[in-house]
Amino acid sequence: MASEQKIPLHTYDHEALRLTIPCFILGILSVVLRFAAKFKNNSPFGLDDWALLLTFLFFTGVNAALIENIRLGVYGVPFDDMPQDVLLAYSKGAYASHTMAATSMTFAKFSVLALYWRLFPTRWLHRAVIAMAIISAAYCIGTVTALLFRCIHPIAESWNPSIQGGKCFSFPRFLLAEEPFNMATNLVIVFMPIPVVLKLQMPLVRKLQICFVFAFGSCASLVSAIRIGLVAKDPQAIYRPAAENWLFIQTTLECIGCSLPTYGPLINRTFVTAGLKGFFTSVPTPQPSYWIRSNGTQRLDSVVDASKYPRSESEDRICAIDARAGVDADVHSIKDIPLNAIKVKRTVEMV
Cα 286–Cα 291–Cα 295 angle in degrees, nearest 5: 125
- For range 290-297, the mean pLDDT: 37
Is it the case that residue 276 has pLDDT exceeding 70?
no
User: pTM of this prediction?
Assistant: 0.70
Chain segment 16-25, per-residue pLDDT in tens: 777 888 888 9
- For range 328-344, the mean pLDDT: 40
Which of 1-5, 95-99, 287-291 is predicted least confidently?
Answer: 287-291
**Cα gap 139→141, rounded to integer Å:** 6
Which of 47-56, 187-196, 266-275 is predicted least confidently?
Answer: 266-275
Chain segment 139-167, per-residue pLDDT in tens: 999 999 998 888 887 888 888 877 877 78
Is it the case that residue 325 has pLDDT exceeding 50?
no
Q: Which residue has the higher pLDDT, 289 or 87?
A: 87
Which of 50-59, 63-72, 185-194, 250-259 is predicted least confidently?
Answer: 63-72
344, 290 in Cβ contact below 8 A? yes
pLDDT value at residue 263 = 76
72: exposed, middle or buried (Cβ count in 10 Å: 0-12, 13-18, 19+): buried
pLDDT value at residue 334 = 39
- For range 78-107, the mean pLDDT: 85
- For range 30-38, the mean pLDDT: 86
Domains of the chain: 2-259 (1.20.1070), 284-347 (no CATH)
Is it the case that residue 131 has pLDDT exceeding 90?
yes
The top-scoring range by mean pLDDT among 70-74, 105-109, 243-247, 253-257 is 105-109
Going by pLDDT thresholds of 50, 70 and 90, the confidence category of residue 265 is: low
330, 271 in Cβ contact below 8 A? no
pLDDT value at residue 136 = 94
- For range 48-72, the mean pLDDT: 88
- All residues at 6 or more sequence positions from 193 whose CB lies less than 8 Å from its CB, including other chains: 116, 119, 120, 125, 214
347: exposed, middle or buried (Cβ count in 10 Å: 0-12, 13-18, 19+): middle
CB atoms under 10 Å from CB of 257, counted, come to 25
**Cα gap 321→18, rounded to integer Å:** 42
For the chain, how many helices (H) and strands (E)?
11, 7
pLDDT value at residue 58 = 94
Q: Which helix (H) or strand (E) holds 342?
A: strand 342-347
Going by pLDDT thresholds of 50, 70 and 90, the confidence category of residue 12 is: low
**Cα gap 18→223, rounded to integer Å:** 18
% of the chain beyond a pLDDT of 70:
68
What average pLDDT is seen over the chain?
72
pLDDT value at residue 236 = 66
pLDDT value at residue 329 = 39
Q: Which helix (H) or strand (E) holds 329?
A: none
Chain segment 93-127, per-residue pLDDT in tens: 888 888 999 999 999 999 999 999 988 888 999 99
**Cα gap 224→185, rounded to integer Å:** 12
- CA atoms 53, 269, 122, 297: torsion sign: positive
The upper half-sphere exposure of residue 10, i.e. CA atoms within 13 Å in the direction of its Cβ, equals: 13
pLDDT value at residue 68 = 83
Gyration radius of the chain's alpha carbons: 24
- Give how far the C-alpha of residue 262 lies from the chain's centroid of Cα atoms, to the nearest Å: 12
Is it the case that residue 290 has pLDDT exceeding 70?
no
